[in-house]
Structure 1
Amino acid sequence: MAIEPPLTELPIKTADNGFYRGFSVNVTVISKIIISILVVWCIFWPTQSGNVLGGLNSVILANFAAWYIWVVAFFIIVCFGLALWPAAGKLNLGQPGEGPEFSNFSWFSMMFGAGIGVGMLTWAVAEPVAHFGSNPETIQGITTGGAADNVRMAYKWSFLHWGLGAWACYAVAGLSLAFFSYRRGLPLTIRSAMTPLFGKSLSGPLGHLIDIVAVVATILGVAQTLGFGVEQFVAGLTRIGIGGLVDAEGGATFVGIIVALLVIMGASTISALSGVGKGIKWLSNINMVLSIVLLGFFIIFGATFFGASAFIVGIWDYLIALPQMSFNVWSSDGVEGSESFLLTQWQGWWPVFYWAWWIAFAPFVGLFLARISRGRSIREFVLGAMIVPSIMCFVWFAWAGGTAIDLELNGGANGVIFDAANGDKIFAMTEFMLAPIAEALAWGMAMLIVILLMTFLVTSADSAVLIVNTINAAGDEGPKARPHILFWGAALGLVVAGLLISGGTSAIQTAMVIGALPFSVVMVLMCISLVKAIFNDSRREAAGVPAVHSEIEGATGNGLSPAE
């Protein structure tokens, strides 16, 4: 049987005129309805919505924890397998001979800022501290929580959650979208990544469903990031002298939430209107520079040698334990307080939550990575999108978190850092370090962190708005109608506000874990589809059949009908 060229056309019906001109009405309207219902439900019935979301979360954690653990391990295997596979690694995520649009610095900056950067300011300090107090080894009595023998365990688990697994989720989505959009000429939208499996049927309801799932997952995944960011932003504003934004327990008040969201979403919407090449690129470069300044402060003036040891030994421990940590699933015996119960509970709180977060974030970051990675090879993409950002995360955790642990163990902090709220830990630490020298220095560092936090949050939010509009517009990367950018900017802010009101960040976490589940299935199909497409392309190359969009266009009249 003759080998045919691949599918290079996937028509998606969009409106020709009116308010939704250029947009897929099915995807856009249904996505807006789902998000609007969630917002109204959480704001007007906060108790009921909190209880229902909590119940659904318990069901998912009880029945799908293993799925989340194993599916992320599968993504790591697929990504490195594609990079090492000779037929795949050399392929250009674009047309033959095409080079990348952005420099390596801008590429890394946008990738890090949109993908995970904002989390560094909360979790680079908070997570090593949390695992230093409790982790599976302390639960099993192997190490002692809060003692020196538990430092290595704190970093092993921190690196697991922010290392290769996180970036594999993004890379799977990004690789699939870039491959099918820039090599095949298909629309830059999630459904295109499954054409080898479902073909032209993706032009209809099945494709609409896939894109709707991606839009909802994106909004919930970004809402999780913004929810943590809003609380930290409010903590930072309080540290620089703006009062009335936190309550007696140190949490953000209703006024604090609204002020933070107005500032963040207002700035992000303005940036989104300017597009990727302007606002987002410049914001990403700015927050990368500020990140280097802040990180340099921790490396030079913080726990320099403690951090270096945590970095080197932590990577070693992480890589050695990665296979076991990636596949192990604990099962509870149902006895509350037992070792198996606590281990299962811990896994639900940490790895399962993180894998759901990264999966929910994947359509947004993946499509964004595809957009900024055109012209790079698959091997370059995998190495650049997985290894470099992972190392950057490890550096942050080693020196920022290491400084916090060292100050508590050896520097006389006496709980000042450990007892602070997660979002406030980095502010408490820098104030403890600088206030004895000069209050002005401590205030200045708090201001730098607030500015950096805002640029990270704005980068994430405006990138998400542009990506959602790209999916809704059937993959059109061109300028989007301003009302739709304004709608999704407001919707994202209202989702965060509604979920925070209905149950704080735990409600956002629950909604995100639920929203990530269907998209995790989509991502598995994307992996299978991509491997199938590359395998078939290698057969086409051997048979002299064109496999790239431009080559197929030039080969019209050869009697071959495009079909995957």
Structure 2
Amino acid sequence: MTDETSARIAPPLTDLPIAVSERGFYSGFSKHVTIPSKIIISLLIVWAIAFPVNAGEVLGIANTTIIRLFSGWYVWLVGGFLVLSIILAALPASGKLRLGRAGDVPEFSRFSWFAMMFGAGLGIGMLTYSTGEPLSHLQNNPVIIAGEATALTENAVRSAYVYSFLHWGFSAWAIYALVGLAIGYVAYRRGLPLTIRSGLAPLLGHRLSGMSGHAVDIVAVVATILGISVTLGLGVEQFVQGLNRIGMGDWLLAKDNSASIPAIVLALMIIVGASTLSALSGVGKGIKWLSNLNLVLSFILFAAFLIAGSALFSLEIFARGLLDYVTALPALSFITNAPDGTTIGDGIAQWQLDWTVFYWAWWIAFAPFVGMFIARVSKGRTVREYILGVVIAPALMCFVWLSLVGGTAVELVLSGAGEGNIVGTVLSDQLYATIAALMDSGLAYAFSVLVVLLLLTYVITSADSAILVVNTINAGGNDSDHGRRHIMFWGVAIALVVGSLLLVGGLDAIRTAMIIGALPFSFVSALLAVAVVKAIWRDTIRLRHGIECTVPPEAKADPAS
């Protein structure tokens, strides 16, 4: 065997020490990651509370600048993630590799695995946007802007669902899949810590034990906090609307029909308090139990729409929408629309910035949290099973949900049965308005209560999962010691971030802060994709030469990646 061949098939890196404190308040945690992360989030909270006007203005300018300058980057990055996911799952050499050693088996059943993925990565958004997304695109989308369809008519339905499926489909879940794969692959096959920096080990090696690794984890923590804040902001608004729908009082809403300050405080106390308690119990107890519960409640709500809703119309939407989406996906994955000085051209370009680019930034900001969480619950699965499970299954579930729940709302609007109450209300109230238009008052009340409970379980699952992931990153990948005091800190911090930004500028302020936080992690995620490709490629070389490429965690090897 030549020296060149030996270098190509050197053993993988199995030792990535991350210094943590041995005593004191930060015992078991990396001060280089935890303290800077806490300072950044604390400064954001103080700035938003102490200087709300300045914070609102700066966030607005930053949002406009980032979206405009990096729109093409986001579109091409997400398109590349989807292509790479397809390749890794399809190739026999990569698809059969396992996230773990030969004897490792999945820790969770496929039902619990799917439930936790769906709850942590999507549940709240689906409750808010299952009606809101199709209805928004029914009123305005690039096809309508180009004059090829008329808003709020039947000929706008197909285009509305192409874009709804785009934003909740395969591309979005491919982001989660690759981030989680990069982390889980080296954690379970090479014994590296379950944290973001480990995913870059095939590229940067032992340098990740120092400041470069600390910087990666800090970026991931900040992006996670801001990403979960958008989801919780949506959850708070819809939770408050639900409490108002079931008769908890008009004091819950402000004059503009958004959540009032007392309602925001109450909702955050309930949500974050319950989330913190659940996080203290760990993944195998509270989070698993809540994930299974919210999936069951989701099926009950789904069954209600299947029986009382527009099932045939929704089935047609699903079948036709899926075909249209798959056909249009190659072009939509990489097309970027630039202003051209015309009304149509400028309108389409702005629409893409407001919708598609915002969505890709949101999913990327959520990727360190959901990617790490998915990696945490995916040990023992093959690369092919992992990618198909993470990319295909949840996306199809989104399509079914958007078709049935959203399709029912669309038909109510088109037929006039909604009497203008569905389109005329705020986004966070549209699901409740659809239920009210669909059912008699008694059933509508009962299912509004169910939605409130379902929303609460989804919010708690997302928040407590995010808290545990942040704590794991801060602890250098160690998730065995929950760090109770730090869990409570991050629970309070998330509540203050959501509350302060809602007061500064509502959901728009939270979205803007998230987009800012997502930009640095978008570059990290691109490197993670390159790193996992390199890791898989080198392992296929090792296997061809009969060299073991899954090493027990306690083993030490040369720092070749």
List aligned pairs for 1:396-475, cutoff 5 A: 396-435=401-440, 439-475=441-477
Report the equivalent of 2:384: 379
Q: Secondary structure of the equivalent of 2:122?
A: helix
Q: TM-score, length-normalised on structure 1?
A: 0.97
Q: Residues of 1 paired with 2:546 and 2:286: CA distance?
A: 43
Please tell me whether the aligned partners of residues 181 and 375 of structure 2 are also in contact (alpha carbons under 8 angstroms). yes
Report the equivalent of 1:278: 285
Please tell me whether the aligned partners of residues 132 and 146 of structure 1 are also in contact (alpha carbons under 8 angstroms). yes
1:249 Cα offset (Å): 2.0
Question: 1:479 aligned to 458, 464, 481, which one?
Answer: 481
Residues 1:68 and 2:70 aligned together:
no
Residues 1:392 and 2:394 aligned together:
no
Question: 1:344 aligned to 346, 349, 354, which one?
Answer: 349
Letter in 1 for 2:335: N
Report the equivalent of 1:288: 295
Question: 2:509 aligned to 507, 510, 525, which one?
Answer: 507
Report the equivalent of 1:331: 338
Q: Secondary structure of the equivalent of 2:43?
A: helix
Please tell me whether the aligned partners of residues 82 and 174 of structure 2 are also in contact (alpha carbons under 8 angstroms). yes
Q: Residues of 1 paired with 2:40 and 2:453: CA distance?
A: 33
List aligned pairs for 1:544-563, cutoff 5 A: 544-550=546-552, 553=555, 561-563=558-560
Q: Residues of 2 paired with 1:404 and 1:187: CA distance?
A: 46
Residue by residue over 1:286-322, the C-alpha shift from the partner in whole angstroms, topping out at 9 and shown as x without a partner, is: 0000000101111121011110001110000000000
Q: Residues of 1 paired with 2:430 and 2:481: CA distance?
A: 40
Q: Secondary structure of the equivalent of 1:266?
A: helix
Please tell me whether the aligned partners of residues 271 and 460 of structure 2 are also in contact (alpha carbons under 8 angstroms). yes
Which stretch of the first structure deviates more once superposed, 265-274 or 80-89?
Answer: 80-89
Please tell me whether the aligned partners of residues 162 and 393 of structure 1 are also in contact (alpha carbons under 8 angstroms). yes
Please tell me whether the aligned partners of residues 39 and 494 of structure 1 are also in contact (alpha carbons under 8 angstroms). yes
Report the equivalent of 1:253: 260
Q: Residues of 1 paired with 2:306 and 2:319: CA distance?
A: 14
Q: Residues of 2 paired with 1:301 and 1:421: CA distance?
A: 23
1:551 Cα offset (Å): 9.4
Unaligned runs of 5+ in 2: none
Q: Residues of 1 paired with 2:90 and 2:324: CA distance?
A: 24
Please tell me whether the aligned partners of residues 501 and 507 of structure 2 are also in contact (alpha carbons under 8 angstroms). yes
Q: Residues of 1 paired with 2:437 and 2:144: CA distance?
A: 28
Please tell me whether the aligned partners of residues 368 and 467 of structure 1 are also in contact (alpha carbons under 8 angstroms). yes
Letter in 2 for 1:460: S
Letter in 1 for 2:246: I
Letter in 1 for 2:65: V
Q: Residues of 2 paired with 1:171 and 1:392: CA distance?
A: 16
Please tell me whether the aligned partners of residues 546 and 552 of structure 1 are also in contact (alpha carbons under 8 angstroms). no
List aligned pairs for 1:19-38, cutoff 5 A: 19-38=25-44
Residues 1:104 and 2:131 aligned together:
no
Please tell me whether the aligned partners of residues 31 and 212 of structure 1 are also in contact (alpha carbons under 8 angstroms). yes
Q: Secondary structure of the equivalent of 2:463?
A: helix
Q: Secondary structure of the equivalent of 2:316?
A: helix
Q: Residues of 1 paired with 2:559 and 2:367: CA distance?
A: 30
1:550 Cα offset (Å): 2.3
1:412 Cα offset (Å): 2.0
1:334 Cα offset (Å): 5.0
1:80 Cα offset (Å): 1.1
Residue by residue over 1:250-269, the C-alpha shift from the partner in whole angstroms, topping out at 9 and shown as x without a partner, is: 11111111111111000000
Q: TM-score, length-normalised on structure 2?
A: 0.97
Report the equivalent of 1:197: 203
Residues 1:359 and 2:364 aligned together:
yes
Question: 2:217 aligned to 211, 222, 228, which one?
Answer: 211
Q: Secondary structure of the equivalent of 1:169?
A: helix
Question: 1:301 aligned to 292, 300, 308, which one?
Answer: 308
Q: Residues of 2 paired with 1:250 and 1:303: CA distance?
A: 28
Residue by residue over 1:10-57, the C-alpha shift from the partner in whole angstroms, topping out at 9 and shown as x without a partner, is: 000000000000000010000000000001111111110111011011
Cα distance, 1:98–1:47 mapped onto 2, change above 3 Å: same
Q: Secondary structure of the equivalent of 2:39?
A: helix
Letter in 1 for 2:558: S
Cα distance, 1:512–1:334 mapped onto 2, change above 3 Å: farther
1:477 Cα offset (Å): 1.3
Question: 2:180 aligned to 164, 174, 179, which one?
Answer: 174
Q: Residues of 2 paired with 1:20 and 1:56: CA distance?
A: 34
Please tell me whether the aligned partners of residues 70 and 326 of structure 1 are also in contact (alpha carbons under 8 angstroms). yes
Report the equivalent of 1:152: 158
Please tell me whether the aligned partners of residues 54 and 510 of structure 1 are also in contact (alpha carbons under 8 angstroms). yes
Q: Residues of 1 paired with 2:416 and 2:470: CA distance?
A: 47
1:97 Cα offset (Å): 2.4
Letter in 1 for 2:280: L
Report the equivalent of 1:491: 493
Please tell me whether the aligned partners of residues 272 and 465 of structure 1 are also in contact (alpha carbons under 8 angstroms). yes
1:394 Cα offset (Å): 0.4
Q: Residues of 2 paired with 1:328 and 1:441: CA distance?
A: 45
1:149 Cα offset (Å): 0.4
Residue by residue over 1:421-471, the C-alpha shift from the partner in whole angstroms, topping out at 9 and shown as x without a partner, is: 101001011112223xxx322211110000000000000000000000000
Residues 1:184 and 2:190 aligned together:
yes
Cα distance, 1:279–1:158 mapped onto 2, change above 3 Å: same
Letter in 2 for 1:423: S
Unaligned runs of 5+ in 1: none
Report the equivalent of 1:520: 522
Q: Residues of 2 paired with 1:172 and 1:105: CA distance?
A: 21
Q: Residues of 2 paired with 1:129 and 1:539: CA distance?
A: 51
Q: Residues of 2 paired with 1:411 and 1:451: CA distance?
A: 29
Q: Residues of 2 paired with 1:551 and 1:326: CA distance?
A: 39
Q: Secondary structure of the equivalent of 1:549?
A: coil
Please tell me whether the aligned partners of residues 5 and 552 of structure 1 are also in contact (alpha carbons under 8 angstroms). no
Which stretch of the first structure deviates more once superposed, 241-250 or 453-462?
Answer: 241-250
Please tell me whether the aligned partners of residues 4 and 561 of structure 1 are also in contact (alpha carbons under 8 angstroms). yes
- Number of equivalent positions: 554
Letter in 2 for 1:341: D
1:546 Cα offset (Å): 2.3
Letter in 1 for 2:206: K
Q: Residues of 1 paired with 2:418 and 2:439: CA distance?
A: 13
Please tell me whether the aligned partners of residues 417 and 437 of structure 2 are also in contact (alpha carbons under 8 angstroms). no
Please tell me whether the aligned partners of residues 273 and 482 of structure 1 are also in contact (alpha carbons under 8 angstroms). yes
Q: Secondary structure of the equivalent of 1:550?
A: coil
Report the equivalent of 1:87: 93
Q: Secondary structure of the equivalent of 1:373?
A: coil
Q: Secondary structure of the equivalent of 2:107?
A: coil
Percent identity, aligned pairs only, is: 52
1:411 Cα offset (Å): 4.9
Residue by residue over 1:136-166, the C-alpha shift from the partner in whole angstroms, topping out at 9 and shown as x without a partner, is: 0000001111111010011000000000111
Letter in 1 for 2:388: L
| Aligned-CA RMSD value | 1.2
Please tell me whether the aligned partners of residues 299 and 307 of structure 1 are also in contact (alpha carbons under 8 angstroms). no
Cα distance, 1:191–1:551 mapped onto 2, change above 3 Å: closer
1:410 Cα offset (Å): 1.6
